[in-house]
Amino acid sequence: MKETFQYIYGIHTCNAQLKLDPNSITKVFFKKPPYNNHLKTIFDKCKSLSLDMIELERDRLTSLCLSSKHQGIVIELSSKLSSGFNLDLYLQTEKNPFIVIFDSLQDPRNLGSCIRTSNAAGASLIIKKKSNSCEISPLVHKTASGGLQGLSLLETNNVLSVIKKLKNNNIRVIGTSDAVSKSIYDLQHIMSGVAVIIGAEGEGVSRSLLESCDDVCSIPIYGSVECLNVAVATGITLYQIKKLIKKTK
């Protein structure tokens, strides 16, 4: 199977990768010494794991990960060009799935923040529309700060088909929109799995996806602003829904 590579960077993100999934690491690139205490700790950890370590000039690291905010470390990860994720197996084995679907998020910082929040709220699967959205780039990894670790990821251009499969497996699909009156605080207890759809900045969730949902709800706004940033809205929504899931256990 053909392999490609992706890069993550930054002390916190790389440290999380080393702790959670060192087997996915093919190379670790460090800036040339001297190292601060954080980099020295990571260097020693990589050495104990017998990882392939390479020292580069700071500018070379910047070129490698396309960011100057690498803090002196970049990790190369191996990834298969096929999806590597079996949705049918997931649905058969995961008890009460908590799924987050991202519909065409454009900003990598927003996507990274939303992924980190999804992880913190207890989601087990991220479904992301592949086209017309930002890719899982080094900046997304950096912003997520280890949030992709422990989460399954499915990228697809046929989100409607996936939603149909989720509903056929008794998973409740909840859409989000600031144009509806029903609040997330009006939702009833969730008795099985749940999938939450988060829409793009500005445009929100597409009409075709909203029409496929079991519920569509909004976050009430009590002040003068029209809406919330998508990352903030994701946090509020997922934690409220998580609360409803926990009450059924």
Class of domain 3-80: alpha beta
Tell me the C-alpha distance between 122 and 141, whole Å.
Answer: 18
In 3D, which of 113, 88, 117 has the Cα closest to residue 241? 117
Q: Does the pLDDT value for residue 88 go beyond 90?
A: no
Q: Which residue has the higher pLDDT, 84 or 7?
A: 7
Question: Backbone phi, then psi, for 198, in 5-degree steps?
Answer: -110, 130
pLDDT at 246: 58
Q: Does the pLDDT value for residue 4 go beyond 70?
A: no
Which of 82-86, 130-134, 212-216, 238-242 has the weakest average pLDDT?
Answer: 82-86
Spell out the domain ranges in the chain.
Answer: 3-80, 87-246
Note whether 201 and 242 are within 8 A (CB): no
Chain centroid offset of residue 142 CA: 11
pLDDT at 82: 38
In tens, the pLDDT along 32-44 reads 999 999 999 999 9
pLDDT at 3: 55
In tens, the pLDDT along 172-229 reads 999 999 889 999 999 988 888 999 999 988 889 999 999 999 999 999 999 998 889 9
The overall average pLDDT reported for the chain is: 88
The Cβ of residue 82 has, within 10 Å, a number of other Cβ atoms equal to: 8
pLDDT at 77: 84
What's the mean pLDDT in 38-55? 94
What's the mean pLDDT in 79-90? 64
| CATH H superfamily, domain 87-246 | SPOUT methyltransferase, trefoil knot domain (3.40.1280.10)
pLDDT at 51: 94
Tell me the C-alpha distance between 193 and 213, whole Å.
Answer: 14
Note whether 116 and 91 are within 8 A (CB): no
What's the mean pLDDT in 89-95? 82
